[in-house]
């Protein structure tokens, strides 16, 4: 995908953003109507006049005779913009008419125009503005006096002279101007011919004549507007342009880059040759959440997220991806696939018909969600379980090899226990598996919970497992659907059914399925955008949120927004606080150990590295601050462990030491004090992408 420039063009071929609106497309001069009206609406008469004059050559003549094809094309059908009236108001309010004259060196070439008519004079003025010496030969006096006055105003200081008869001079280019009864068409023809002559004089090749722009030659009345009325009329313009993808995406609005330009930069970035050139699409491509909102609303179905993913994959394939953007998430995926991994068909079974695949984040956020869900599935469906990761972090980073390797491991585990139906708790896992492993049949955990009479039975109903038939005392809440679930109608309905059974009155979102800010893992690549999006999502309702995505819950609670996972309601669990980075890994191994104990009767002792014995003392606020920097306490322990064993360490005032730990993508720095009891009080920690080279390094 996207290997050549034609590939990138083809990808966005259906995009019309930035193209001429219907009114401008209908105009034979191609007036930039949006630009003209934008300036007129602000009362910038000189700027508006310049935009209009540069397009039509003779503004007063065109304004007098224009048949207003733009009016028929206006999207405001009930009351089209009176564009011609605004044009006349601009002409009435300017203080100085005529074209701008710039003291540029004159051209050596000379041009003869035969015919002092509207086509010939339009050609002459256009070439004269480029400092070509133009001689117009013909009877200028036959034109109306008011038109002659306007033409001479536009000629101004340009090197254009008008003669009745040829003088025998030789010219580098000649043009015989046509004359019809349609003055507007003649001016258009003359202007277009000037462009072709200029190309010929510069290249020696004369381009083919383009077909005239079609428009309806309809004469219509135009009101006379005062300056104030003209600005109001211009302000009514909707600035017609396709903005559907921009309307639904904060990222696209933040960068303001047209899709076609982004596609072009994709191609140019494939051929970057540092230090002579550099990548120009990096920050935007790595700021995409991949939520698919752009594709959902695009009339042409263009999924810019796929283009940005292809860009990340291209950069990773060339070994010049900004690895720091995704390092923390890839390391978490590695943990889920190693120390957090587990597979079993269930107690006493070698194969199973269903297997729970909670993904890497459910147990990391709250191990009880995994254990309670699995016990329910085991009792009701004799389910097995696969603990691991769907590979989303590698996919979002563009690391195709790592993503494929993770999928193969998952496929192997799935085949080992009999190719069961996978029961999913994470919508992102569902989307990944649907696209990458379509042979796997899946079902939402929430559908199975909602279909069970034992889960949150109605008040007074008999039966049900102990501890899960209590009403959940949340009252009213707003539902927040994860972006990956926006097309999963059955899962969405099941979550709402569970909330209703719990006695929660739900408020529906105005725009369901928006990304909470976690998708695509763009947090490191674009912190300001992450802050903007997460703050916006957290503020969409004053009510607490009901969520069914662990990442959404973590994002909102970090913003101080109350969020409850639907599994807390389903199993009557007290909502746990969002864990720190280190605690998520502890939770994941705890969930694995408890599931293994439930199935095998033996509790595994999780493996621990040497530095796990390093005892830290952190003030709670500092611990949260460090965590928001995406620095785990295990990284701090590792840095101190090696520093205390002869690694690089600087001793400062008051016993404060500073050490560093260089990892694959980041260098971590820790400031700490060694306490008498052998523990270490942390003063601060931070990370960056720089490397500290030794003295003899070159």
pLDDT digit string, tens, across residues 32-48: 999 999 999 999 999 99
Q: Which pLDDT score, from 0 to 100, does residue 634 have?
A: 93
Q: Which pLDDT score, from 0 to 100, does residue 694 have?
A: 57
Neighbours of 5 (CB within 10 A): 15
> Among 402, 372, 374, 376, which Cα is nearest to 389's?
402
Q: Which pLDDT score, from 0 to 100, does residue 272 have?
A: 82
Q: Is the pLDDT of residue 397 over 80?
A: yes
Give the mean pLDDT of 377-402. Answer: 97
CATH number for region 110-203: 3.40.50.720
52 to 34, 58, 60, 105, 632: CA distances (angstroms): 11, 9, 10, 26, 60
Write out pLDDT tens, residues 332-377.
Answer: 999 999 999 999 999 999 999 999 999 999 999 999 999 999 999 9
495 and 446 Cβ atoms separated by less than 8 Å: yes
Q: Which pLDDT score, from 0 to 100, does residue 69 have?
A: 92
Q: How far apart are CA 324 and CA 329, in angstroms?
A: 10
Sequence-ordered list of residues with C-beta below 8 angstroms from that of 421, at least 6 positions apart, any chain: 353, 354, 355, 441, 442, 443
Q: What percent of the chain has pLDDT over 90?
A: 78
464 pLDDT tier (thresholds 50, 70, 90): very low
Q: Strands 354-357, 384-387: parallel, antiparallel or unpaired by DSSP?
A: parallel
Beta-bridge partner residues of 658: 650, 671
Compute the C-alpha angle 256/258/262, nearest 5°: 105
Beta-bridge partner residues of 160: 134
Q: Is the pLDDT of residue 606 over 80?
A: no
Q: Is the pLDDT of residue 176 over 60?
A: yes
- Residue whose structure tokens are 């280019």: 173
Alpha helices in 398-523 (DSSP H): 400-416, 427-436, 445-451, 489-501
276 three-class SS: coil
Compute the C-alpha angle 139/141/145, nearest 5°: 150
Sequence-ordered list of residues with C-beta below 8 angstroms from that of 370, at least 6 positions apart, any chain: 356, 358, 362, 363, 387, 591, 594, 595
Write out pLDDT tens, residues 285-317.
Answer: 999 999 999 999 999 999 999 999 999 999 999
Q: In which region does residue 513 sit, left (phi positive, over 0), alpha (psi from -120 to 50) or beta (all else)?
A: left
- Here the tokens at position 23 are 């009114």
Q: Which pLDDT score, from 0 to 100, does residue 465 have?
A: 40
288 and 308 Cβ atoms separated by less than 8 Å: yes
Alpha helices in 158-303 (DSSP H): 183-203, 227-235, 244-248, 250-255, 259-269, 282-285, 293-297
> Among 115, 134, 117, 147, which Cα is nearest to 194's?
134
Q: How far apart are CA 388 and CA 334, in angstroms?
A: 9
Q: What is the 3-state secondary structure (H, E, C) of 188-201?
A: HHHHHHHHHHHHHH
90-104, 467-481, 502-516: least confident range: 467-481
Q: Which pLDDT score, from 0 to 100, does residue 469 have?
A: 38
Q: Which pLDDT score, from 0 to 100, does residue 113 have?
A: 97
For residues 532 and 475, the model is more confident at 532
Q: In which region does residue 201 sit, left (phi positive, over 0), alpha (psi from -120 to 50) or beta (all else)?
A: alpha
Q: Strands 384-387, 342-344: parallel, antiparallel or unpaired by DSSP?
A: antiparallel
Alpha helices in 94-182 (DSSP H): 118-129, 145-155
664 pLDDT tier (thresholds 50, 70, 90): confident
Q: Does the bond joining 109 to the residue before it have cis omega, within 30 degrees of 0?
A: no
> Among 278, 271, 274, which Cα is nearest to 314's?
271
Write out pLDDT tens, residues 62-75.
Answer: 999 999 999 989 98
467 pLDDT tier (thresholds 50, 70, 90): very low
> Among 117, 100, 122, 154, which Cα is nearest to 29's?
122
Beta-bridge partner residues of 152: none
410 and 390 Cβ atoms separated by less than 8 Å: yes
Q: What percent of the chain has pLDDT over 70?
A: 93
Give the mean pLDDT of 428-436. Answer: 96
Q: Is the pLDDT of residue 457 over 60?
A: yes
Q: Which pLDDT score, from 0 to 100, does residue 103 have?
A: 75
Beta-bridge partner residues of 660: 669
Neighbours of 145 (CB within 10 A): 8
For residues 576 and 387, the model is more confident at 387
Alpha helices in 472-565 (DSSP H): 489-501, 527-538, 550-558
The residues spanned by each domain of the chain are 5-13+242-321, 22-98+228-235, 110-203, 352-367+421-592, 611-688
Q: Which pLDDT score, from 0 to 100, does residue 221 have?
A: 60
324-328, 429-433, 473-477, 482-486: least confident range: 473-477
463 secondary structure, DSSP code: -
Neighbours of 529 (CB within 10 A): 21
135 and 127 Cβ atoms separated by less than 8 Å: no
Q: How far apart are the first and last CA of the chain?
A: 38
For residues 692 and 187, the model is more confident at 187
Q: Which pLDDT score, from 0 to 100, does residue 216 have?
A: 38
Dihedral Cα 85, 89, 91, 94, nearest 10 deg:
-160
523 and 288 Cβ atoms separated by less than 8 Å: no
Q: How far apart are CA 229 and CA 231, in angstroms?
A: 6
Q: How far apart are CA 234 and CA 201, in angstroms?
A: 39
462 pLDDT tier (thresholds 50, 70, 90): very low
Q: How far apart are CA 413 and CA 352, in angstroms?
A: 12
1 pLDDT tier (thresholds 50, 70, 90): low
91 and 63 Cβ atoms separated by less than 8 Å: yes
670, containing H or E segment? strand 667-674
220 pLDDT tier (thresholds 50, 70, 90): very low
Q: How far apart are CA 109 and CA 174, in angstroms?
A: 11
Phi and psi of 361, rounded to 5°? -105, -25
Q: How far apart are CA 70 and CA 80, in angstroms?
A: 9
Q: Which pLDDT score, from 0 to 100, does residue 219 have?
A: 38
Please give the mean pLDDT across all residues of the chain.
91
Sequence-ordered list of residues with C-beta below 8 angstroms from that of 397, at least 6 positions apart, any chain: 312, 316, 321, 325, 326, 329, 330, 521
Q: Which pLDDT score, from 0 to 100, does residue 367 have?
A: 97
Give the mean pLDDT of 406-435. Answer: 97
186-195, 215-224, 425-434, 585-594: least confident range: 215-224
Q: How far apart are CA 378 and CA 352, in angstroms?
A: 10
């Amino acid at each position: 995908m996207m290997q050549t420039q034609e590939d990138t063009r083809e990808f966005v071929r259906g995009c019309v953003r930035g193209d001429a609106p219907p009114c401008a497309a209908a105009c034979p001069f191609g007036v930039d109507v949006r630009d003209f009206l934008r300036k007129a609406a602000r009362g910038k008469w000189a700027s508006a006049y310049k935009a209009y004059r540069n397009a039509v050559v003779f503004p007063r003549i065109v304004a007098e005779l224009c048949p207003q094809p733009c009016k028929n094309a206006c999207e405001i059908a009930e009351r089209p913009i009176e564009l011609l009236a605004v044009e006349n108001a601009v002409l009435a309010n300017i203080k100085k008419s005529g074209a701008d004259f710039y003291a540029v060196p004159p051209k050596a070439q000379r041009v003869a125009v035969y015919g002092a008519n509207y086509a010939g004079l339009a050609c002459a003025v256009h070439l004269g503005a480029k400092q070509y010496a133009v001689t117009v030969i013909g009877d200028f006096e036959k034109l109306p006096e008011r038109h002659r006055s306007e033409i001479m105003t536009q000629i101004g200081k340009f090197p254009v002279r008008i003669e009745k008869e040829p003088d025998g001079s030789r010219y580098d280019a000649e043009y015989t101007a046509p004359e019809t009864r349609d003055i507007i068409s003649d001016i258009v023809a003359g202007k277009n011919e000037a462009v072709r002559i200029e190309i010929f004089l510069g290249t020696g090749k004369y381009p083919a004549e383009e077909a005239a722009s079609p428009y309806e030659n309809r004469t219509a009345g135009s009101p006379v507007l005062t300056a104030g009325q003209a600005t109001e009329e211009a302000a009514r313009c909707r600035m017609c342009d396709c903005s559907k993808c921009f309307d639904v995406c904060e990222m696209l609005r933040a960068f303001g880059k047209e899709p076609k330009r982004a596609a072009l930069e994709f191609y140019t970035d494939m051929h970057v040759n540092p230090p002579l050139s550099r990548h120009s699409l990096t920050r935007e491509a790595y700021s995409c959440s991949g939520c698919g909102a752009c594709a959902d609303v695009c009339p042409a179905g263009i999924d810019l997220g796929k283009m940005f993913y292809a860009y990340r994959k291209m950069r990773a394939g060339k070994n010049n991806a900004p690895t720091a953007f995704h390092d923390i998430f890839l390391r978490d995926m590695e943990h889920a696939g190693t120390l957090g991994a587990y597979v079993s068909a269930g107690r006493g079974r070698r194969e199973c018909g269903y297997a729970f695949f909670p993904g890497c984040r459910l147990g990391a956020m709250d191990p009880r969600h995994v254990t309670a869900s699995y016990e329910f599935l085991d009792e009701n469906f004799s389910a097995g379980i696969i603990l691991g990761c769907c590979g989303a972090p590698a996919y979002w980073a563009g690391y195709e090899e790592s993503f494929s390797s993770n999928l193969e491991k998952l496929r192997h585990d799935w085949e080992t226990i009999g190719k069961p139906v996978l029961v999913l708790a994470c919508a992102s896992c569902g989307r990944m598996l649907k696209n990458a492993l379509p042979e796997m049949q899946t079902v939402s955990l929430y559908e199975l919970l909602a279909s069970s009479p034992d889960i949150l039975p109605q008040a007074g109903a008999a039966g049900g497992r102990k501890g899960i038939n209590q009403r959940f005392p949340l009252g009213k809440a707003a539902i927040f659907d994860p972006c990956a679930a926006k097309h999963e109608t059955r899962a969405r309905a099941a979550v709402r059914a569970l909330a209703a059974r719990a006695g929660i009155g739900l408020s529906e979102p105005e725009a369901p399925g928006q990304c909470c800010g976690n998708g695509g893992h763009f947090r490191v690549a674009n912190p300001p955008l992450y802050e903007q999006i997460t703050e916006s999502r957290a503020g969409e309702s004053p009510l607490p949120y009901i969520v069914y995505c662990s990442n959404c819950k973590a994002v909102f609670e970090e913003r101080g927004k109350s969020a409850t996972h639907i599994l807390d309601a389903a199993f009557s669990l007290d909502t746990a606080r969002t864990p720190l980075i280190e605690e998520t890994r502890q939770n994941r191994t705890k969930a694995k150990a408890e599931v293994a104990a439930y199935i095998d009767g033996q509790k595994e002792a999780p493996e621990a590295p040497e530095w796990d014995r390093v005892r830290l003392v952190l003030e709670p606020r500092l611990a949260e601050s460090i965590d928001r920097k995406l620095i785990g306490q295990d990284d701090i322990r590792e840095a101190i462990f090696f520093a205390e064993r002869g690694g690089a360490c600087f001793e400062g005032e008051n016993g404060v030491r500073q050490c560093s730990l260089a990892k694959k993508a980041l260098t971590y720095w820790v400031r700490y004090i060694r306490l008498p009891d052998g523990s270490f009080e942390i003063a601060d920690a931070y990370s960056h992408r720089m490397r500290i080279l030794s003295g003899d390094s070159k």
